[in-house]
Structure 1
Amino acid sequence: MTSLTQAAPTTARTGQPVRGRRLARFTPYGLIGPAVIAFAAVLGYPLVRLVWLSVQDFGPRSLFTGEAPFVGLGNFSRVLGDADFWHVLLRTLIVSVGCVVSMMVLGFLLASLLRLVSNWARVMLSVCLVLIWAMPMVSASMIWRWLFEPQYGVLNWVITQLHVFGDFSAHDWFSSPGQALFLIIVLIVWKGLPFIALTLYAAMGQIPDDLYEASALDGAGRWSTARHVTLPILGPVLAVLVLLEVIWSVNSFTPFWVLTQGGPDGGTTTLGVYSYLEAFTRNDYGGGAAIAIVTVVLLAVLAVLYVRRLIASGEVTA
């Protein structure tokens, strides 16, 4: 009898860690559960509706009758068989690569500069970066439009006053696809640069100073230190930033629409603009939805391959 009463507390005590471990196993799911539910509620239905719309022949007639015949993969076959789609896809890839490479290089240099300047200069520069990042893209695009306006643009006036490149008083920057695309890329880089710079600056602050001191004792210069110390340690952060910027660059819509609406002659049309034009200009809502689904699939495949490559190389652990 005495042995049984003594064994009961022992069993209870040993059971508590087991229940604690079981509870700890489900704690992460409980923490991310509300975010997953909110994400599914906000984006779940639109995504399902978009998928369903992409397999329907939904045109202007469907808006009045409510009838949209099921066409299966017909919209996808038509979109992928269109030569314009592949031109737009190539242009989107070129824009994305240009934006991401520019932002990563300039962001790293700007983050390094933040570590070298004095405290007051760092604060002022950080405030300017945050203000740029906080500005809505629509407002930034409108300001960009005014800066490069042919008749009253500030840039044209400055270039004309320099008397170096001739008279630019009536030069229309957005009449040439090459110039318009370049200006849009510059705008996207300018708008996204603060996020990259401030994130890398915060990550650089976590690198121990001992590593830099050891590198200096070995006689390494700034470039060697950045190459062999800073960049390897920042590898996981850089990997996440590259992936995010690729997604954001491909999905960029506002600067293209506000500045050129995909023109001139479709020279600045990217996948986001192409999907919008297909749906709301040509009234082919099924085709526009198919283009959007193709964009999502391409980004998902790219993200999976990119992450798997990073895991295989050891830069990011699973």
Structure 2
Amino acid sequence: MAMTDKRHRPPARGAARRAAPAGRRRASATRPRLLPWAMIAPAVLALLLVQGYPLVRLLVLATQAFGPRSLFTGQADFVGVDNFTAIFTDPDFRAVLLRTVVFTALCVALLMVLGFLLSHLLIGVSPWARLLTTVCLVLVWAMPMVAATLVWQWMYQPQYGVANWLLTEVRVFGDLTAYDWFSHPVPALGLIVLLTVWKGLPFVALTLFAARGQIPESLYEAARLDGAGTLQTFRHLTVPILRPVLAILTVLEVVWSVNSFTPIWVLTQGGPDGATTTLGVYAYVTAFSRNDYGSGAAVAVVTVLILAVFATAYVRRTATRAERGDAA
């Protein structure tokens, strides 16, 4: 009887006290995991409202035959993927896509190279020269794109353009007084690239200058003591440390270059004969010049998908290389 009573005796108070907080510990363990989501929930909700709805509405519009009649009636027939099929079978779209890739590659390459050189210059010059250069860069960056484009248009205007007069006075390229830069495809696209690079260079240069200033000089001193030259230091020290910043800048500049509209439209309106038309201009012309809003929306959707795929692949590749470098 004594053995039976001992076997069926209820647990002691200490054991019950130890078992009771287990549920509370599990609940408290889930709170830290939910706290970050709760903190970013307002921002996510705002993004869904501000950006999510327009994207959904754009996708719906891309599947409709939305024309001038639909603007008054508010009704449009559902056509599925017909708009996408139309733009993919359009020879102009393939030419525009290739031109956009070339334009974006030129802009991003020039921006990153010149931005690196300019940021290195800002580090090496005296404080007053650095201040003067920074002020000039900020003024260029702060200038509205329309105003900057008009200035470039006046600079390269035939007969009265200061660039034509200056190149004529140099007497290397001949008489360019009456030369119309925007009537020839290659010079027109080249000027648009230069304008885009000139306008976007301050952001890249100042960002790289700020990031470069966070690298301790002791690392460079140690590299020089080990016998590393300028190129070796740049390749094995500066670039690996600045890789996250370079990835963000590259993605941003690619997105901004692909969506570039104002300089192209103000200078050439996509001409001559569509030779400077990129995806942004092509979507605008398709929607508002041809009054085919469904196809214009389809071009915009394709542009968003291309940029999303590029950004995701590039960032994942950069993160993978960074992890391998950290592991090494």
1:272 paired to 2:280: yes
Describe the superposition over 1:127-170 as per-residue Cα deviations: whole angstroms up to 9, x where unpaired: 11112112221111111111111122111121222233222221
Larger gyration radius, structure 1 or structure 2: 2
Give the partner amino acid of 1:249: S
Give the partner amino acid of 1:217: L
Distance 1:17-1:150 versus aligned 2 partners, 3 A rule: farther
Within the candidate set 252, 262, 265, 1:244 is matched to: 252
**1:29 paired residue number:** 37
Per the normalisation by structure 2, the TM-score is 0.89
1:78 paired to 2:86: yes
**2:206 paired residue number:** 198
Task: Tell me if the contact between 1:236 and 1:315 (Cα under 8 Å) persists in the aligned partners.
Answer: no
User: For the residues of structure 1 that align with 2:187 and 2:198, how far apart are their CA atoms?
Assistant: 16
Task: Tell me if the contact between 1:148 and 1:154 (Cα under 8 Å) persists in the aligned partners.
Answer: yes
**1:312 paired residue number:** 320
Q: Does 304-313 or 76-85 show the bigger shift? A: 304-313
Q: Does 280-289 or 231-240 show the bigger shift? A: 231-240
Per the normalisation by structure 1, the TM-score is 0.91
RMSD, aligned α-carbons: 2.3
Task: Tell me if the contact between 2:243 and 2:318 (Cα under 8 Å) persists in the aligned partners.
Answer: no
**1:182 paired residue number:** 190
Give the partner amino acid of 2:206: L
**1:135 paired residue number:** 143
User: For the residues of structure 1 that align with 2:279 and 2:195, how far apart are their CA atoms?
Assistant: 18
Distance 1:268-1:218 versus aligned 2 partners, 3 A rule: same
| Partner SS, residue 265 of structure 1 | coil
Matches within 5 A, 1:13-52: 21-52=29-60
**1:218 paired residue number:** 226
Task: Tell me if the contact between 1:253 and 1:273 (Cα under 8 Å) persists in the aligned partners.
Answer: yes
**2:6 paired residue number:** none
Q: Displacement, 1:49?
A: 1.4
Give the partner amino acid of 1:117: V
Q: Which ranges in structure 2 are unaligned for 5 or more consecutive residues?
A: 1-11
Q: Displacement, 1:188?
A: 0.7
Q: Does 216-225 or 191-200 show the bigger shift? A: 216-225
Q: Displacement, 1:77?
A: 0.4
Which contiguous aligned blocks of 4+ residues in structure 1 show a shift greater than 4 angstroms? 7-12, 14-21
**1:299 paired residue number:** 307
Among all aligned residue pairs of Structure 1 and Structure 2, give the percentage whose two residues are the same amino acid: 59
| Partner SS, residue 234 of structure 1 | helix
**2:173 paired residue number:** 165
User: For the residues of structure 1 that align with 2:141 and 2:323, how far apart are their CA atoms?
Assistant: 28
Q: Which ranges in structure 1 are unaligned for 5 or more consecutive residues?
A: none
